[in-house]
Amino acid sequence: MDVTLIFLPALAMAMLTIAVMLRMLAIRVGEMKRERIHPQAVATSAQATARFGDTRAADNFRNLFELPVLFYVALLFAAQMGQVTTTMLTLAWLFVALRTAHSYIHCTYNKVMHRFKVYLASGVVLLSLWAYLAVCLFW
């Protein structure tokens, strides 16, 4: 199988991260203009949390640098090991789909239990992806 296929899910995750970043920027700039918040008044995360009313996109943006970091490393590891298989690609795309759903929930209606279930499912997929890589490496 073409090893470069493993980078398509990584590209999709990067695009999701950029989309959330742009949403966060639009919300933050809009709120700063509307509420006349001086940029220096939100210089730290504590100040920003206290001043901004809607932090969903910012919270999700930070979240996209947690579990997904392990995802990116796993994809690089799979490419390096030559383990770009149908199973690997399926798990990678499933992770992307679940993280996209998580971001949608987080940035829109933000129902915690819905978000948690999707987050948990994406964690299980990520664990499965790493377990699959371990099996490929040792067997």
Q: What is the pLDDT of residue 126?
A: 98
- CB-CB contact of 115 with 102 (8 Å): yes
Quickly tell me which residue has 């829109």 as its tokens: 108
pLDDT per residue as tens digits for the range 84-94: 999 999 999 99
Residues 75, 8: Cα–Cα separation, whole Å: 10
SS3 8: helix
List the chain domain ranges: 3-138
The amino acid present at 120, given as its one-letter code, is L
Give the per-residue pLDDT at 137.
Answer: 87
Q: Which residues of 85-97 are buried (b: 16+ CB within 10 A; e: fewer)?
A: eeebbebbebbbb
**Mean pLDDT for the chain overall:** 96
pTM more than 0.75:
yes
What gap in Å lies between CA 77 and CA 82, rounded to an integer? 8
Residue-wise pLDDT for 26-74, tens only, equals 999 999 999 999 999 999 989 998 999 999 999 999 999 999 999 999 9
CATH architecture of 3-138: Up-down Bundle (1.20)
